Amino acid sequence: MSEDVFPDSFGEMTHGPGPEDFANGAAALAAGLVREAQALAQSAAALHAATAAGPEGAGDVRRARLALHAGGEAALRAALALDAAAMLGANQKAAELAPRLAEAAKRAGLPAATIAPLLRAAALDFRTDDAAARIAASTLAAELCARLAGQD
């Protein structure tokens, strides 16, 4: 292998993650967001099922309204997480991605910062031992969260 292809592939690496690491990190974040969406969707479905129990479960109307509201919020957040996961697949820089994420949140009637905890959870739920991709995913998530905080 010639030295001009990957001059610092083994040892002598003095810089952070490269473009491929950031692409892998974004893909891992997207996968984490899909898992977060799945958990939220399951919660929404469970809350909806609890309120649809029929006459024997129709005791407290306030409790049912609260469950329906919480289920609706969970469903909105699940949809937002899936939207964000799709956007992460486009391999854009955080500066380009943050306004698009903020707009998606606003379309769902949620503050832009709503996606931040989902991004952080996805970065923590990293399912590979690729350290450079893990660093890239954490960096991308942190930068997106910081940019989203200023979008509201």
Please state, in angstroms and rounded to a whole number, the distance separating the CA atoms of residues 136 and 75.
29
Instruction: Report residue 151 as tokens.
Output: 């979008």
Is the CB of residue 122 less than 8 Å from the CB of residue 32? yes
Please state, in angstroms and rounded to a whole number, the distance separating the CA atoms of residues 10 and 142.
28
Domain ranges of the chain: 19-149
The per-residue pLDDT for 6 is: 47
The per-residue pLDDT for 93 is: 84
Instruction: Report residue 98 as tokens.
Output: 């943050």
In percent, the amount of the chain with pLDDT more than 70 equals: 85
Residues in CB range of 131: below 8 A, 6 or more apart = none
Instruction: Report residue 13 as tokens.
Output: 């690496």
Q: Which CA distances in Å does 145 have to 66, 100, 116?
A: 29, 13, 5
Please state, in angstroms and rounded to a whole number, the distance separating the CA atoms of residues 78 and 91.
21
Coil vs helix vs strand at 7: coil
pLDDT tens track for 96-123: 999 999 999 999 899 999 999 999 999 9
Predicted confidence (pLDDT) at residue 69 exceeds the cutoff of 80: yes
The per-residue pLDDT for 78 is: 96
